[in-house]
Amino acid sequence: MSRKQQLLKRHRRNKRLGLLLGLLVLLGVGVGVHWWLPLVLLPLLWVAHEAWFADHLFYSPAEDYQYTFPEGCEPVAVSLAGQGLRVTQPLPVTGDETLILQVRLKCTWLGRFFDPAVEVLGGDVPDLQTFERGVRGVRYLNLTGQATAVMAGNLRLRGRHCRVLEASQLWVVRSGDLYPRRVMVIAPHADDAELAAYGLYSKAAESWIVTLTAGEIEAEHYQQMGLERAEAARLKGRLRAWDSIAVPRWAGVPQAQCVQLGYFCLQLPAMQAAPDQPMASREAEMADTRLFRQFNSLALPGDHDGAPTWNNLLADLRALIVLARPQVLVMPHPTLDPHPDHVCAQAAVLEALQGLEWQPETLLCYANHLHDNDRWPMGDSGAGVALPPQMEAGQGWTPHSLVLDLNAQRDKAMALGMMHDLQPAPPFKRRLRRLLQRWLAGRKASPYGENEFFRKAVRRHELFWRRDL
């Protein structure tokens, strides 16, 4: 069982215990006070839960984030004068550096009911970066794109439902320009490349999009059309295979450089455990990947027998890396992103690179999911992306952030809107919860779509963790 699953299991157990205790209290109130009082309080408590306590947050908002930045991240001393950020030493920057500001926040009493945020003012485009309700501790603002205002001493920080108690350190990462390089994005599923790196791959000199699985499972939306379970899964897999080839064309990526490998969703861990054993789809009643590869322009080693094995996956990746010769390889983060297919995708790429004649210059890792906070990046569409929660200082990774202007954000939103998996309406309970949160907690809906990824991914920043090889 993954850490994320363990956290969810514990969260649900605690919620059930809390619900049982609450019901016992309400029954006691009904017996000892008025019989009708529990009937009034119960729906009010449910509304309060949905509005303020339904987030999956598996740590205390009062904990400090723990980050260790490696060599290459230059620390610059800063201070706050009122709301203004003051750099206490020379800051020679050109404008494309990643800037990360360490701050200490403390929420106001309203910050326990409304999302606390820090307004970043004084630059060309104001920003707003949001944190957990009840925040009290060290957090990291992303000031990438604000270099001019920082150098000029014009940058101001203003808390919304929180106070910025101190700004103690600015980290400057001189990463260099990635856009002139050849980029290959490894996507475990169709839409992962767009969620994480649309802004990067749409502007790179040459981009390749390699999608590992067809993402065919959980096809209930298509079963509602009258299809049997396996038939619905095959239809969903074909649609998502098409998406993985067609949608990057919106960003100008040639069709020949968009590749769908057609392995089966949530079967990568089983494939890794038995590298030469085929692992059939959980729901589509098929054990041949070639149905989902039909839109590829390239022949691959795995096309020979269509067997869904780890060895075939490695052979496919090696052939593509040697052919494309990517200088920048983009893939899921090995520890931040807990999705099993994402973990295995990263492991497959690293194994495929061993002894290969071509080696990339740079690895960029992304996290489309988190262990500890299902709302990250917190806040609204268009806002900046602060560093995610990390409660234990682990191996240092270099943050690398890109800035997306409004036109790039809109293009990214349209790319996500073309993805079939993001189109169905959310379940009724989730829609009701979001409505209550908008009314009572001040949260905004994304203007681009109902799926939560429109809020999470269409942002001012794309955030990666970088390692140069």
Which tokens is 433 given? Answer: 């919860």
Q: What is the pLDDT averaged over residues 97-103?
A: 96
Supply the pLDDT for residue 392: 83
Question: pLDDT tens digits, residue range 346-397?
Answer: 999 999 999 999 999 999 999 999 988 989 999 999 999 999 999 887 767 8
Q: What is the pLDDT averaged over residues 227-246?
A: 98
Supply the pLDDT for residue 6: 62
Q: What is the pLDDT averaged over residues 157-175?
A: 94
- Cα end-to-end span (Å), the chain: 32
Supply the pLDDT for residue 38: 64
Supply the pLDDT for residue 23: 64
Selected residue with higher pLDDT from 380 and 81: 380
Supply the pLDDT for residue 44: 83
Residue 2 has pLDDT above 60, yes or no: no
How far is 439 from 304, CA to CA, in rounded Å? 56
Question: pLDDT tens digits, residue range 31-77?
Answer: 556 656 666 677 888 888 899 988 888 889 999 999 999 888 999 99
Supply the pLDDT for residue 11: 58
Question: pLDDT tens digits, residue range 17-31?
Answer: 766 676 666 566 555
The pairing of beta strand 98-107 with beta strand 461-468: unpaired
Share of the chain above pLDDT 70, in %: 92
Confidence band for 246, pLDDT divided at 50, 70 and 90: very high
Supply the pLDDT for residue 56: 84
Mean pLDDT over the full length of the chain: 92
Single-letter amino acid code for the residue at 245:
I
